[in-house]
Amino acid sequence: MGYLSLVGAIAAEVAATTAMKYSDGFSRPAPALLTALGYLVSFALLAHTLKTVSIGTAYAIWSGAGTAAIALLGLVLFGEGLGPAKIAGMLLIVAGVVVLNMGGAH
């Protein structure tokens, strides 16, 4: 159940960050409110996750998956570039999460 909460936390964080972009510096009330609510839900679900998943593993997955998802959404929704450096960075994030999980498997 912890990993299901973590998936929800990641989705809420990605939605909140995307809404923040649409808020135009918090000058648009609806996206600004969605940003605040999304982060509130994300942190609540992350806290719930930490009841059953180690903090290092949970945070690595939450931040890594969120970062990669936002980079891809930036490409799709906002026309941001995806060069070799961004690709390498996302691969390093995934590799880091895998290594952290392997280290916690003992």
Of all residues in the chain, the percent with pLDDT exceeding 90 is 63
The pTM assigned to this predicted structure is 0.86
CB 34 within 8 A of CB 41: no
pLDDT value of residue 19: 98
Band (95; pLDDT cuts 50, 70, 90) = confident
Q: Per residue in 20-66, pLDDT tens?
A: 999 999 999 999 999 999 999 999 999 999 999 989 889 988 988 99
pLDDT value of residue 104: 59
Phi-psi map region of 26: left, alpha, beta (phi>0 left; psi -120 to 50 alpha): left
The span from the CA of 5 to the CA of 65, in Å, is 14
